[in-house]
Copies of this chain bind each other. A is one copy, B any other.
Amino acid sequence: MIIVLKNGTTPEQLREFSDRLSSQYQVQVNVWRGTQSTVLGLLGDTHTIDIESVEANEIVESVKRVQEPYKKANRAFHPNDTVIPVGDAKIGDGSLQLIAGPCSVESEEQIVEIARRVKASGATFLRGGAFKPRTSPYAFQGLREEGLRLLLEAKRATGLPIVTEIMSVSHIDLFRDVDVIQIGARNMQNFELLKEVGKLDKPILLKRGLANTIEETLMSAEYIMSSGNEKVILCERGIRTFETYTRNTLDISAIPVFKKLSHLPVIVDPSHASGIAWMVEPLSMAALAAGADGLIIEVHNDPQHARSDGAQSITPARFDALARKLFTLHRAVRG
């Protein structure tokens, strides 16, 4: 950590500040005094230093981190890719993982039918929303407990492990049989929830928040990992920008950046990124070409009667055609 001090800092102020830093954080403080400014260099384990409290000091002009503020999620400390096994699937081992299913679970017939269809096309996981975060209190909020039960029925019928979203710490017990728990974009900084899922021994699919940086996403992964659960899957699902044609803007760059900064697997959600069914194909292809370990895609057997997110869902037939293209692309770029 590099700390630039203000002009006019007295030697006494410098000494007091420097002593406080070394006692408070067990770092070594090096001073470099130029003619115009004084710079401090902090050596040691600086990731626990509260940058805001340093900035608050009246003699501090600015602060710059040299090390990243996350450690367990950091590739520098874990050079090898993390591979997360779930049933027969291995997320992060170079294979292509396809997570598919409806936005909301609506009925046993619906979820089992979709599960069968997507499995036949090569999907390795079934997704489906039981608890649904909706902008409006008047919109369908999901079948909740009943939705979880139906997902488990579909798992029994097809063998596909299931991925579904948790919305509250008070629901954790309900998720004991879920294979992968999803933290939605709106809860990416619900830190109390992150701590709780960090106590589980279960993979967590962590969606990047709409307005969260790559670093903040890794810090939320760090919350889960530092609570004990290192099975975190990162998910890029589009960020909020000024562009209005798409619902969000898929940050394709986040894929290689997550891969460089972290050892965790990365999947992409083209359905929520665009909000538009016909865009799922080109965005899926792009994500795979950019290095994603998998995709999470909304598939509905009857999109126009879907109880949520119909506009971005594709039919099982289109998913089948897309999956073929994706496996071809996967062979071409990873083969």
Taking beta carbons and an 8 Å cutoff, which residues of A are in contact with B? 2, 4, 30, 32, 34-37, 39, 41, 43, 47-48, 50, 52-53, 55-58, 61-62, 64, 66, 69-70, 131, 133-141, 167-171, 186-187, 189-193, 195, 209-211, 213-216, 219, 222-223, 226-227, 239-246, 249-257, 260, 273-274, 277-279, 282-283, 285-291, 303-313, 325, 328-329, 331-333
Q: Is the CB of B249 within 8 A of A251?
A: yes
Nearest opposing residue in chain B for A251, CB measure: B249
Chain B residues positioned under 8 Å from A186 (CB to CB): 189-191
Secondary structure dominating the interface of A: mixed
Q: A32-B32, A253-B249 are in contact. Are A37 and B66 (CB under 8 A)?
A: yes
Do residues A2 and B39 form an inter-chain contact, with CB atoms below 8 A? yes
A131 to chain B, nearest CB (A): 8
Asked if residues B55 and A138 are in contact (CB atoms below 8 Å), the reply is: no
Closest partner residue, chain B, to A246 (CB atom): B253
Q: Is the CB of A279 within 8 A of B253?
A: yes
> Within the assembled complex, what's the spacing in Å between the Cα atoms of A238 and B206?
25
In the assembled complex, how far is the CB of residue A234 from the closest CB belonging to chain B, in whole angstroms? Answer: 14
Q: Are B215 and A245 in contact (CB under 8 A)?
A: yes
User: What is the chain B residue whose CB lies nearest that of A239?
Assistant: B241
Q: Are A137 and B249 in contact (CB under 8 A)?
A: no
CA–CA, A286 and B270, complex, Å: 13
- A122: shortest Cβ distance to chain B, in Å? 17
6 A/B residue pairs, CB under 8 Å, sorted by A: A2-B2, A37-B66, A53-B305, A55-B311, A241-B251, A282-B289
Q: A141: which B residues are within 8 A, CB to CB? A: 191
Contact B252 A243 (CB under 8 A): no
Contact of A52 among B50, B52, B310 (CB under 8 A): B310
B274 touches A283 (CB 8 A): no
- Nearest chain B CB to A311's CB is how many angstroms away? 4
Interchain CB contact under 8 A, B210 and A192: no
By the criterion CB–CB under 8 Å, are A282 and B291 in contact?
Answer: yes
3 pairs of A and B residues whose beta carbons are closest in the complex: A56-B310, A211-B211, A332-B332
Contacts of A227 in B (CB 8 A): 137
Minimum C-beta distance from A63 to chain B (A): 9
Cα distance A240–B255 in the bound complex, in angstroms: 18
Tell whether, in the assembled complex, residue B66 and residue A61 are in contact, meaning their CB atoms are under 8 Å apart. Answer: yes
